[in-house]
């Protein structure tokens, strides 16, 4: 009689476990997610668009979510029974079981976690006692407290639930706040997800969840591309521990985000607001005052918009915060500790600022480990013609206040854009300008883009980049553009140098190869 196999799982079960466990720790906005769903479900898999955007709810967009949960419910119970009956899986198999059950518990309690987010958006605190926690803890014990089976210490109910709540919050804020259906936006969502969880979500869950506040994020992009939406998504998606004794989260995820527009404040006011001050430290300092850094708790985030405009002297102090996590109030020598996270943003060329001496290179290198570049509206439209009407639809619904009214407004906007704007209109103000267009059509029935001066019109006719027209490019960028155009016209370094009044070596150094190739192609 043949000996009975002692394998914990069959080959097909292992394939399902591997696929679902990978899904539980993968970037939901990456194509790999779909591949793993197909692997887990086999013939039951239903195809859908790889670019998730605001066309409906999550399960409506992904019909496989419900099927995967049903599969996990039955299979997890079967695997648990085998463990109770004395099956002893390999270390690898036990890790797959653990990840599989985490996936099941996440989707089993996903409605409860989503409810917390929605209720917080309506003003109810997210630190209230969780009525479902006792039930969750019992379910957790059902699958993980098995005699003779030992799981890693980080596999405990409070941490796994807190991690699951972070996953749910991150998906909600990335999915609902970063709207658009083009591939550049899909890639942006993936970058934001990595900014929160890194590229290795499993390592994050094991050990990095309490350390990501030490790593700042830098968001780059033209004005109007939505940099603050990205910063807010990161700030509202931080890990917050759960207190099992009180059955509640230790902090409210929505209370710790603070946005500061540095360009709107004078340097002296920025320094005082950021670091705080001691009474009498300067004229007008009539009392001790805590700054934004001091008021930011360990689970909070400070968003520093327009970091490129920060005074060099304050840059030195901010660098110290990022390096040592310490600072001093103005007029004090007492060391205070910053416990939160910094997210910075700018539409300026920081590398050029380093060359010009207006931005410190050591601060830049401290910020640039986690960089997110925002796609322009032009790039989205070029990548997918359908991206524009999708964006108009989302914006119109939000502004009009309902699906029905929004659909009608969207049709009006699209009709106006087709008849009232040039076919190749570049939307220099990006999504912010598009939002203004929708509002203007709502109120006036039309939209008039900001007028350009005659000089700007001539530059536009010559093909000068929109960033130069918007006054957002550096002097070096303007010089590179003009030098390249002169060189393309006269055909030699020496001739271009005479026209420009520059040394031929400078002309050679300032040429833009891509622009030169475009100009030559145009004839």
- Counting Cα atoms < 13 Å in the Cβ hemisphere of 102 gives 30
Residue-wise pLDDT tens digits, 234-250: 999 999 999 999 999 99
Per DSSP (E only), the strands in 137-290 are 217-220, 242-243, 248-249, 257-261
What pLDDT does residue 131 have? Answer: 96
pLDDT at 98: 95
Most confident of 66-80, 176-190, 314-328, 451-465: 314-328
Cα 517 from Cα 195, distance rounded (Å): 35
- pLDDT exceeds cutoff 90 at 344: yes
pLDDT at 158 exceeding the cut of 80: yes
Confidence of residue 45 (pLDDT cuts 50, 70, 90): confident
Confidence of residue 457 (pLDDT cuts 50, 70, 90): very low
SS3 content of the chain, % helix, strand, coil (to 5): 60, 5, 35
The whole-angstrom separation of Cα 506 and Cα 497 is: 8
pLDDT band, residue 6 (cuts 50/70/90): low
Say yes or no to pLDDT of 56 above 50. no
| pLDDT, tens digit, 9 for 90 and up, residues 345-374 | 999 999 989 988 999 999 999 999 999 999
Q: What percent of the chain lies above the pLDDT cut of 70?
A: 90
3-state secondary structure labels for all residues of 290-352: CCHHHHCCCCCEEEEECHHHCCHHHHHHHHHHHHHCEECCECCCCCEECCCEEEEEECCCHHH
Q: Answer yes or no: are the C-beta atoms of 491 and 459 closer than 8 Å.
A: no
Q: How confident is the model at residue 50 (pLDDT cuts 50, 70, 90)?
A: low
Please give the pLDDT value at position 59: 44
pLDDT (tens digit per residue) in 194-209: 999 999 999 999 999 9
Residue 335 has pLDDT above 60, yes or no: yes
Phi-psi group of 125: left, alpha or beta (phi > 0 → left; psi -120 to 50 → alpha; rest → beta) = beta
- Of 70, 75, 115, nearest to 97 by C-alpha is 75
Q: Is the pLDDT of residue 139 over 80?
A: yes
Instruction: Please tell me the pTM assigned to this model.
Output: 0.82
The CA distance from 281 to 277, in Å, is 7
Residue 486 pLDDT exceeds 50: yes
- b/e per residue 114-127 (b: at least 16 CB within 10 A): bebbeebeeeeebb
Question: Which tokens belong to 70?
Answer: 């049903």
User: Which pLDDT band, with edges at 50, 70 and 90, does 113 fall under?
Assistant: very high
The model's confidence at residue 465, banded by pLDDT at 50, 70 and 90, is low
Does residue 224 or residue 454 have the better pLDDT? 224
Distance between alpha carbon 517 and the CA centroid of its chain, in Å?
34
Does 118 score more than 90 pLDDT?
Answer: yes
Q: Could you please report the per-residue DSSP string of 30-88?
A: STHHHHHHHHHHGGG-----SS--SSS-HHHH-THHHHHHHHHHHHHHHHHHHHHTT--
Question: Residue length, the chain?
Answer: 523
Q: Say what the pLDDT of residue 1 is.
A: 37
Buried (b) or exposed (e) across 280-301, using 16+ Cβ within 10 A? ebeeebeeebebbbbebebbbb
pLDDT value, residue 54: 38
CB 163 within 8 A of CB 205: yes
Residue whose structure tokens are 């939000």: 398
Q: Quote the percentage of the chain above a pLDDT of 90.
A: 63
Residue 145 has pLDDT above 70, yes or no: yes
pLDDT over 90 at 492, yes or no = no
Query: How many Å apart are CA 30 and CA 74, to the nearest integer?
Result: 27
Distance CA 108, CA 139 (A): 10
Mean pLDDT of the chain: 87
The predicted structure's pLDDT at residue 25: 86
Determine the average pLDDT of the residues in 403-432: 93
Q: Which band of pLDDT confidence, cut at 50, 70 and 90, is reported for residue 89?
A: very high
pLDDT, position 521: 61
Contacts of residue 147, defined as CB under 8 A and 6 or more positions apart, other chains included, come to: 84
| Burial of 91 per CB tally in 10 Å (0-12, 13-18, 19+) | exposed
Q: How confident is the model at residue 507, as a pLDDT?
A: 80
The residue-averaged pLDDT of 270-283 equals 88
* Range scoring the smallest mean pLDDT among 146-160, 287-301, 507-521: 507-521
pLDDT greater than 80 at residue 10: yes
Comparing 459 with 379, which gets the higher pLDDT? 379
**257 by DSSP, 3-state: which?**
strand
């Amino acid at each position: 009689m043949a000996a009975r196999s002692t394998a914990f799982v069959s080959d097909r079960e292992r394939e399902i476990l591997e696929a679902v466990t990978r899904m539980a720790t993968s970037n939901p906005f990456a194509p790999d997610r779909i591949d793993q769903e197909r692997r887990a479900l086999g013939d039951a898999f239903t195809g859908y668009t790889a670019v998730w955007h605001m066309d409906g709810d999550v399960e409506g967009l992904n019909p496989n979510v419900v099927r995967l949960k049903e599969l996990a419910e039955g299979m997890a119970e079967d695997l648990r029974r085998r463990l109770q009956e004395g099956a002893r899986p390999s270390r690898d198999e036990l890790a797959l079981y653990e990840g599989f059950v985490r996936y099941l518990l996440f989707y089993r309690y996903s409605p409860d976690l989503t409810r917390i987010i929605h209720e917080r958006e309506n003003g109810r605190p997210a630190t209230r006692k969780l009525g479902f926690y006792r039930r969750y803890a019992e379910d957790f014990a059902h699958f993980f407290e098995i005699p003779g089976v030992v799981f890693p210490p980080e596999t405990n109910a409070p941490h796994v639930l807190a991690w699951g709540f972070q996953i749910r919050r991150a998906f909600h804020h990335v999915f609902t706040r970063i709207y658009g259906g083009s591939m550049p936006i899909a890639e942006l969502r993936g970058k934001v997800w990595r900014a929160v969880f890194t590229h290795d979500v499993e390592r994050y869950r094991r050990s990095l969840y309490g350390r990501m506040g030490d790593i700042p994020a830098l968001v780059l992009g033209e004005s109007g591309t939505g940099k603050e939406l990205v910063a807010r998504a990161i700030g509202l998606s931080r890990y917050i521990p759960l207190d099992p004794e009180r059955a509640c989260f230790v902090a409210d995820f929505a209370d710790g985000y603070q946005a500061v527009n540095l360009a709107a404040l004078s340097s002296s006011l920025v320094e005082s607001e950021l670091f705080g001050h001691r009474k009498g430290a300067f004229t007008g300092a009539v009392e001790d005052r805590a700054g934004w850094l001091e008021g930011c708790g360990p689970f909070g985030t400070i968003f520093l918009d327009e970091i490129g405009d920060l005074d060099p002297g304050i840059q030195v102090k901010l660098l110290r915060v990022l390096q040592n996590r310490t600072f001093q109030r103005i007029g004090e020598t007492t060391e205070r500790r910053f416990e939160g996270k910094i997210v910075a943003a700018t539409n300026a060329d920081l590398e050029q600022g380093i060359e010009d001496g207006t931005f410190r290179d050591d601060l830049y290198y401290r910020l640039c480990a986690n960089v997110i570049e925002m796609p322009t509206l032009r790039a989205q439209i070029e990548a997918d013609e359908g991206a524009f009407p999708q964006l108009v639809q989302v914006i119109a619904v939000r502004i009009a206040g309902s699906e029905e009214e929004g659909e009608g407004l969207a049709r009006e906007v699209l009709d106006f854009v087709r008849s009232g704007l040039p076919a190749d209109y570049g939307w220099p103000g990006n999504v912010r300008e598009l939002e203004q267009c929708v509002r203007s059509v709502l109120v006036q029935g039309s939209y008039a883009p900001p007028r350009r001066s005659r000089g700007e019109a001539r530059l536009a006719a010559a093909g000068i980049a929109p960033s130069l027209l918007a006054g957002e490019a550096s002097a070096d960028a303007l010089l590179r553009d003009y030098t390249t155009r002169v060189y393309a016209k006269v055909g030699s370094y020496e001739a271009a140098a005479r026209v420009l009044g520059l040394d031929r070596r400078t002309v050679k150094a300032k040429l833009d190869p891509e622009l030169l190739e475009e100009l030559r192609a145009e004839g």
